[in-house]
Every structure is written in C-alpha cells, then in structure tokens.
C-alpha cells in the first residue's frame, strides 16, 4: 500500500503515574519529541513525584487524565475488574453517583499537582466510553470547565484496526458503540481515528504492527502506546510489552519509518 503523505498522528502514552518505571520511559520519549500526549493516572503512587518533570513539557504536549475504574490503587473501594464494568454497563447496573465521585477525586488529584485542568479525558481500559459511564462526562465537564475551553475526549469507537486481536476489538467496539454520537450531541471534540489496540504481549510483534499502522492509518489519528522502563512489578501484567514499546519508539528506526510513511507527529490541537 502506498502511504498517503502529510498525515497527522498523535502518539499518546498511557498510565503516567502508575509507577516510576512507566514515568521514566514516558519522560525519555518526551525528551526525544516522540510523544505529543500523555495520559495521567492521578491516583497512582508515582503521580505526585512525577508531575513536576512531566509539567516541564506542558508547552508542547497535551497532558490528559486517564480516568480509572479498574486498576486498584491502595484502598480504592470502587475499583473493579473490567469484566464487572462491562456486565454492569449492559445490564443498567452503573452507580453513576459513585462513578461521578470517583472521577471528581481523580480530577482534583490532577489539578492538585499541575494547578490546571487536564487538556483531555480518556479512560483506562476505555471505561469512560461505556454505557452508563459516558453520561457522567458532560456533567463533569460542565462542572469543572466552566471558565475554560472544554477538553478533548478520546473516542475509542473510532478504532481503525483490530491489532490481530479480533475478539478484543469486537468487545471494544460493542462496549463503546455510539460514543462519538454522544460527543457530537454535547459539542465535545474528539479524534477521528483511534489505534494502538493489540495483545500487549512480547509475542504480539509490536514493531511489525506499528509499521503496518503507520502506512494505513488515516490522518488525525490518536494512537495509544504503553511504554515503560524495565520493571519487576508483578502487579503490572504488561511490563514486558512496555519495554519493547519503549525500545522501538526511542530508536532511529521509528523516526525513519515515520518519514517513509509520510506521518507527522502532532498534538491533538493540530487536528481539524
């Protein structure tokens, strides 16, 4: 396939604040200008200590909030496995008051460290786009962003490739169906393409997937990545994949493949 030149891609690193190893990997890529968005887990044990270093890049990078309902930090009584939230989303069992309060705390923790609101909102394991949870977002945005421009919102239902995990992609598309229509109804901005879904294992061949994505993705695509330095954190099941991503994204081969594919890394604000 011949690449279409001059396509814009926002490479977004998820999970900043989850651990020091993840922070270190993301900060390395920021220094190399390989990332233009970073999603923060503000409940994470490495958020407060990592926030000052991340904030140094605020002029050239979008810093957003990775709304979390599935990863348990400390005594978080509201965190539940993804399967529980999927079941509740399709059975009408979402406690929106509890979700709203949980998201408020995460916004407050973000503001406490950076002194400003997030540039965008997304969700760990895409929970922000599930039925019963997505309805909370416009309320929170109206509450917090009264005096400033509303944030971008990640639209995972704009997935452009199944990343060789067709069942995982089917679940994501089914769970987030209709999310963009809701964002349009409320006037919120979003990405027109979404990529980065794959098995998050060393055997998944992230490098080959990235090469394929770079040659086929449409312009104005947001791609999630999950880089991190080497770690022995047994609570992070994707730690091996994180280091593979980091090694590739900070290397010269990635820079050259961007050039050959005619892809320019850019902030969300560059999207039309």
The pLDDT tens digits for 58-70 are: 999 999 999 999 9
Give the pLDDT band (50/70/90) at residue 253. Answer: very high
The 8-class DSSP code of residue 269 comes to G
Sequence spans of domains, the chain = 7-270
Tens-digit pLDDT profile for residues 91-137: 999 999 999 999 999 999 999 999 999 999 999 999 999 999 999 99
Q: What is the pLDDT of residue 4?
A: 53
From the candidate CATH numbers 3.10.20.30, 3.40.50.12780, 3.40.50.2300, 3.20.20.370, the one assigned to the domain spanning 7-270: 3.20.20.370
CB proximity list for 149: less than 8 A, separation 6 or greater: none
- pLDDT at residue 77 greater than cutoff 80: no
DSSP for 24-91 reads: HHHHHHHHTT--SEEEE-TTSTTHHHHHHHHHTTTTTSEEEEEE-SSS--TT-TT---HHHHHHHHHH
Share of the chain above pLDDT 90, in %: 92
- pLDDT at residue 144 greater than cutoff 70: yes
Phi then psi for residue 12, to 5 deg, are: -115, 120
| Residues β-bridged to residue 224 | 12
Q: What is the pLDDT of residue 1?
A: 38
Tens-digit pLDDT profile for residues 233-248: 988 999 999 999 999 9
Please state, in angstroms and as integers, the Cα–Cα distance from residue 19 to each residue in 64, 120, 134, 248, following that order: 17, 21, 27, 20
């Amino acid at each position: 396939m011949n690449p279409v030149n001059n396509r814009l891609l926002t490479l977004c690193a998820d999970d900043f604040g989850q651990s020091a190893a993840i922070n270190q990997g993301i900060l390395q890529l920021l220094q190399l200008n390989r990332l233009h968005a970073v999603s923060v887990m503000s409940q994470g044990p490495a958020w407060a200590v990592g926030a000052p270093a991340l904030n140094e890049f605020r002029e050239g990078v979008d810093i957003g909030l990775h709304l979390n309902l599935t990863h348990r930090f400390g005594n978080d009584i509201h965190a539940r496995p993804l399967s529980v939230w999927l079941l509740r989303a399709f059975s009408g069992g979402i406690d929106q008051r509890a979700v709203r309060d949980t998201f408020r705390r995460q916004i407050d923790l973000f503001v406490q460290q950076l002194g400003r609101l997030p540039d965008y909102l997304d969700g760990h394991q895409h929970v922000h786009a599930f039925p019963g949870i997505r309805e909370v977002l416009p309320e929170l945005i109206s509450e917090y962003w009264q005096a400033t421009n509303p944030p971008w919102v990640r639209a995972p239902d704009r997935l452009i490739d199944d990343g060789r995990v067709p069942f995982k992609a089917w679940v994501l598309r089914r769970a987030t169906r209709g999310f963009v229509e809701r964002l349009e109804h409320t006037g919120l901005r979003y990405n027109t393409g979404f990529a980065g879904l794959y098995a998050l294992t060393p055997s998944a061949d992230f490098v080959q997937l990235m090469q394929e994505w770079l040659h086929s993705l449409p312009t104005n695509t947001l791609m999630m990545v999950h880089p991190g330095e080497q770690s022995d954190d047994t609570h992070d099941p994707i730690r091996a994949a994180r280091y593979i991503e980091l090694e590739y994204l900070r290397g010269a081969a990635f820079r050259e493949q961007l050039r050959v594919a005619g892809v320019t890394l850019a902030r969300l604000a560059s999207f039309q």
